């Protein structure tokens, strides 16, 4: 099953809610995580000044103004990113995808050495979802066992859903604040993406559309890196954690006080355009058959893949 892009008039009052307040089924949860993945990646690219304004659709979650990459954009690089995300959706549907890393590098001869990385880590089955007590203080850190009663399972799902909207807005707000704090990227940059899988269930010959086997399972990093957690979102069926990795000097303030009033006020003062455009936001509400965007390749012994080619960030100076 593959996800597709569908036209959405963002000015209509009948549009599908970006993130529902409650998740009641595994399919609904999968759609939620797909959408959250697309929104997170889109806003990272927007705030890093990647691609022009017309490449993004405009949406809102409560008071947070968001950008979503659109298929309508004619920029080759933006279309490439959309295809990468659709390939990730395929792996998510099969519950194979464990980790997605979006990397930025400057040397086209050495795409494995990054200057910046954004990592999304996925968990699927309820028994494997570990709740973050910082987000769900009233919840047990252990999810219901497979032999839990229906009432126990229902109570747990209700507690998860009670914190879902808050954790989603908190994650997206943290991403916006952190990315806005970073220094401007060098003029010539490139994007790459690497996926890691749950090897116990992923077939040896599986490659999602647009990806091929990687030579290794990790990136190297230029300078002295630091990783900062942007947050976690948990549904009754999935969890998603996001981390940002960059040069240590850029994130010293966040490392010491990631939730300070200074950062909150910086977020509130962000200036994003209010006007809306007739765009085609990346949507995952309808499914189509696999379009066979590329021929799968055998994976190497590491069981990891990277994109077939790194895509240059933008035709716009950044």
Asked, for residue 108, whether it belongs to a domain, the answer is yes
Q: How far apart are CA 10 and CA 68, in angstroms?
A: 11
- Total domain count for the chain? 1
Q: Decide if 14 is inside a domain.
A: yes
The dihedral of CA 132, 134, 136, 142: what is its sign? positive
Neighbouring-strand partners of residue 297? none
Q: Is residue 230 part of a domain?
A: yes
Give me the pLDDT at residue 126, please: 57
Helix axes 164-180, 150-162, angle to 10 degrees: 40
Is this prediction's pTM over 0.75?
Answer: no
**Domain region containing 124:** 2-312
Beta strands in 169-213, from DSSP E residues, in sequence order? 190-197, 211-213
274: CATH: 3.30.900.10
Specify whether the CB–CB gap between 5 and 280 falls below 8 A.
yes
Residues 6+ apart with CB under 8 A from 229: 241, 242, 243, 258
89 domain-assigned: yes
pLDDT number for residue 305: 44
Residue 318 falls within a domain, yes or no?
Answer: no
Residue 179 host element (H or E): helix 164-180
Residue 39 lies in a domain: yes
Q: Is residue 147 part of a domain?
A: yes
pLDDT at position 252 is: 62
Per-10-residue mean pLDDT of the chain, 318 residues long, equals 32 59 91 96 95 91 91 87 93 95 92 93 71 42 56 69 87 94 90 92 90 82 88 92 89 53 35 31 32 29 38 33
The alpha carbon dihedral of 14, 20, 21, 22 has a sign of positive
299 domain-assigned: yes
């Amino acid at each position: 099953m593959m996800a597709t892009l569908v036209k959405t008039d963002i000015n209509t009052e009948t549009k599908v809610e970006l993130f529902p307040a409650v998740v009641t089924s595994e399919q609904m949860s999968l759609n939620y995580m797909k959408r959250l993945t697309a929104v997170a990646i889109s806003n990272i690219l927007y705030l890093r000044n990647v691609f022009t304004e017309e490449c993004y659709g405009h949406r809102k979650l409560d008071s947070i103004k968001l950008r979503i990459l659109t298929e309508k954009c004619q920029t080759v690089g933006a279309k490439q990113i959309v295809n990468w995300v659709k390939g990730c959706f395929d792996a998510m549907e099969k519950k194979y995808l464990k980790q997605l890393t979006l990397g930025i590098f400057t040397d086209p001869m050495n795409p494995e050495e990054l200057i910046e990385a954004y990592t999304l880590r996925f968990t699927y089955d309820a028994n494997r979802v570990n709740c973050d007590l910082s987000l769900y203080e009233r919840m047990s850190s252990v999810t219901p066992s497979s032999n839990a009663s229906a009432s126990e399972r229902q109570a747990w799902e209700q507690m998860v859903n009670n914190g879902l909207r808050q954790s989603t807005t908190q994650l997206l707000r943290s991403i916006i604040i952190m990315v806005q704090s970073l220094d401007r990227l060098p003029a010539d940059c490139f994007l790459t993406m690497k996926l890691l899988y749950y090897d116990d269930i992923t077939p040896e010959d599986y490659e999602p559309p647009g990806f091929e086997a990687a030579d290794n399972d990790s990136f190297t990093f230029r300078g002295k890196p630091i990783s900062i957690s942007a947050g976690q979102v948990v549904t009754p069926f999935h969890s998603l954690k996001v981390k940002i990795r960059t040069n240590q000097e850029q994130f010293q303030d966040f490392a010491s006080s990631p939730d300070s009033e200074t950062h909150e006020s910086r977020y509130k003062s962000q200036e994003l355009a209010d006007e809306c455009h007739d765009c085609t936001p990346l949507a995952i509400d309808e499914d189509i058959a696999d379009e066979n965007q590329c021929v799968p390749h055998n994976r190497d012994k590491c069981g990891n893949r990277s994109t077939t080619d790194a895509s240059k960030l933008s035709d716009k100076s950044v």
